[in-house]
A = this chain, B = another copy of it.
Amino acid sequence: MKEIIISMLKERGIEIKKIAQLVYELQKPYIDVTLEDAIINVEKVLEKREVQNTILTGLQIDILAEEGLIKEPLLSIIRRDDSLYGIDEILALSITNVYGSIGFTNFGYLDKVKPGIIGEIDKAGKTTEKVHTFADDIVSGIAAAACARIAHANEKDHK
């Protein structure tokens, strides 16, 4: 299942390495971490069933919106990434949550500032036929969860 998820993310323009880059940048100031560590932690997040279900569901909704298979008025709400539509944030929080509530802060920060790959897919969603309403929150959620995982692991190393 993990391989399905990774290739599904790739088809939507999201590479593991680019998510790991976000994790690396966020954790570098606090913890001695390499990009390689970040990649390993992102992959660990993607092994979680709850995370897999959320990614499958969120990316599927984006794709169906692109294909015009979702009915109105929901289709337009998703296509324009309506600022009062919060279902993408709720789904992403269920990813962030898998290593505890300490991930909420990084999720919100990433979703607001939109660095790296998050900004790229958000921009593509707003300027092309692509729909990335769920995708950008999903990436923020995965990166925030990986940061939380690193924080937990780092603490164990120091005991």
A positions within 8 Å CB-CB of B: 1, 4, 30, 48-50, 53-54, 56-57, 60-61, 63-64, 69-71, 73-74, 77, 83-87, 89-91, 93-94, 97-98, 100-102, 104-113, 151-152, 155
Q: Which residues on the B side are within 8 Å of A71 (C-beta)? A: 60, 63
The answer to whether B102 touches A83 (Cβ under 8 A) is: yes
CB <8 Å contact, A112 and B106: yes
Q: List 30 A-B contacts (CB under 8 A).
A: A1-B73, A30-B83, A49-B84, A50-B86, A53-B84, A53-B86, A56-B73, A69-B69, A83-B102, A84-B152, A84-B155, A85-B102, A86-B94, A86-B100, A86-B102, A87-B94, A87-B101, A89-B101, A90-B90, A93-B101, A94-B100, A94-B101, A98-B100, A104-B104, A104-B107, A105-B112, A106-B108, A106-B112, A108-B109, A109-B113
